Structure 1
Amino acid sequence: MNGNVTAPLSWVFTLVFVGFYVVAYQHSIHLWRWPYPRYILVALSFGMVLWLLVKMRFHLPWVTYWIEMADYAFLATLMYGYFKIQDKDRRIKDRLFQSANWDALTHVQNYAAYDRAIGYHFSRSLIRHNNLTMAMFDIDHFKCVNDTYGHLAGDEVLKQVSSTVVDVLKAKDEQIVLYRTGGEEFNVIFPGYTVAQAQPLVQEFFDRVKALRIPYNDVELNVTISVGVSSLHRTDHNPLDFYKRVDSHLYRSKKMGRQQITLE
């Protein structure tokens, strides 16, 4: 308003503009009906008041006022279309990101996300000489569940097991992430943890899964997991070397009768 901070109309203009921002923000974060009519009504209502203050401050003729209001209404409509395009583009990107990084069934991160994460943590741990531990587990006799009760029962088992493990991990440390890397195979990355530090958490989710009672139709399913755990070695040349060692510990758990944890 012409840089005059002592003019009363300047302060009225500022307060109205702040009110415009607050009301517009509230409309933008709520999924109310009729978004465009609400948007244009708010924009025109505040716009008329703001331009009226400008008219009064600079003694503009009414013709100029209505011309500016018409231009303003046209610009507001164009801006609404632009915001809708931007919002649609953001939603598409969000959906693509979700489908590329998250497992649709269990809602944990998938193999693609694991592959990026283990590459990052592997390099970071070697460079900074940080600890890094990984656990790998799969559900014992999972094929029997599918063959006996059907794939929907197997899906329910996968969801319940992954949810249980995530609950245990999140309660301890948000940095520890569960990934579904195969059909019934999961990996857990423990950044900054030694095997000894990760062991209590592994034991906790192992016990919690064992205690699960999963209702399905008229039966109650009980499953167990086999787990392999190892830490990063300085002799590991790449993440695959690390993965293979953890996988070999998991294989040892299964070979020794399943339902057990093999630590390095």
Structure 2
Amino acid sequence: MLLNGNVTAILSWGYTFIFILFYWFSYQQSTHLWRAPYTRYISVATAFGLVLWLFVKFRFHLPWTTYWIEIGDYLVLATLMYGYFKIQDKDRRIKDRLFQSANWDALTHVQNYAAYDRAVGFHFHQSNTHHRDLAMIMFDIDHFKHINDTYGHLAGDEVLKQVASTVATVLKPFGSDIVLYRTGGEEFNILLPDRDLNRARPIAQEVFDAVKGLTTTYNGTDLQVTISVGVSILHDGDRNPLDFYKRVDANLYHSKQTGRHRITAS
């Protein structure tokens, strides 16, 4: 209205108000999971279309025949747009599901090995390029095979879910950049960007203590769970993420070989 000099025109103000109201109603429909979405959409589009084209009719002195022809064309276009947006929405949902399945573990709802592999490659490159610290915590559940063999795989699944949920909760206060990954059957990794060994050790201890106090109940049986932990940091001599991984893995192996239920950090 400012550009075409219609600031004082009542019809222009009315048209603008109706258009804003139309947008608000449409937005409300898009954010609520109400029933019969097409019926609601076309009803709102028709109601506002009739009013908006009525303003156009009076503004440009259009005959009623033209008005109804334009309304018909408008409703055809509105229906086509609805179909287009439905296709776009379905495509987005499919992509979201594919992303979830590709990056998240279905059982524990933490990120999986594929996500870890991309993340460690990215952080390795960032740390080498910008001379930033990078630490990693790796742990697995002690005597997990015994749990599966004694109580069944469903019991093992419950233990995995409880451990993952507990550790994810413990990590939240330390920052959103610290991420938990399930990288194997009962093996988990935690990447800690911009943390040296002195900052990584207390986090590993928090994780260790939280799981140590965890009791998982399955079929009336209380299962006490502990973990073995390995911690290390990126070294200047690491040529690739695998060199880094091997050192952390070696520390985890040392914890398991020396009695389990302990932390090895170097």
TM-score interval, smaller chain: over 0.9
Matches within 5 A, 1:74-89: 74-89=76-91
Counterparts of 1:218 and 1:263 in 2: how far apart (Å)?
37
Counterparts of 1:223 and 1:213 in 2: how far apart (Å)?
6
Name the % identity.
69
The AA in structure 2 aligned to 1:168 is V
1:97 matched residue in structure 2: 99
The AA in structure 1 aligned to 2:202 is P
Matches within 5 A, 1:202-213: 202-213=204-215
1:49 maps to 2:63: no
1:62 maps to 2:35: no
Query: What SS is found at the alignment partner of 1:130?
Result: coil
Q: CA deviation at 1:5?
A: 2.1
Q: CA deviation at 1:209?
A: 0.3
The AA in structure 2 aligned to 1:170 is K
- What is the CA RMSD across the aligned residues, in angstroms? 0.9
Q: CA deviation at 1:189?
A: 0.1
Selected match of 2:149 from 147, 150, 155: 147
Structure 2: state its 5+ residue gaps.
none
- 1:129-148, CA deviations, whole angstroms, 9 ceiling, x for partnerless residues? 00000010000000000001
Counterparts of 1:72 and 1:86 in 2: how far apart (Å)?
21
- 1:190-244, CA deviations, whole angstroms, 9 ceiling, x for partnerless residues? 0000111011111011001010111111111111000000000010000000000
- 1:26-46, CA deviations, whole angstroms, 9 ceiling, x for partnerless residues? 000101000000000000100
Counterparts of 2:234 and 2:60 in 1: how far apart (Å)?
72
Matches within 5 A, 1:118-137: 118-137=120-139
How many correspondences in the alignment?
264
Q: CA deviation at 1:108?
A: 0.3
The AA in structure 2 aligned to 1:150 is G
Counterparts of 1:95 and 1:111 in 2: how far apart (Å)?
17
Query: What SS is found at the alignment partner of 2:125?
Result: helix
Counterparts of 1:201 and 1:244 in 2: how far apart (Å)?
20
Selected match of 1:12 from 11, 14, 25: 14
Matches within 5 A, 1:157-236: 157-236=159-238
Counterparts of 1:143 and 1:20 in 2: how far apart (Å)?
61
Counterparts of 1:172 and 1:23 in 2: how far apart (Å)?
41
Counterparts of 2:9 and 2:223 in 1: how far apart (Å)?
76
Counterparts of 1:52 and 1:7 in 2: how far apart (Å)?
15
Query: What SS is found at the alignment partner of 2:229?
Result: strand
1:39 matched residue in structure 2: 41
Query: What SS is found at the alignment partner of 1:5?
Result: coil
Counterparts of 1:165 and 1:188 in 2: how far apart (Å)?
10
2:111 matched residue in structure 1: 109
Q: CA deviation at 1:85?
A: 0.4
Query: What SS is found at the alignment partner of 2:261?
Result: coil
Moved over 4 A (4+): none
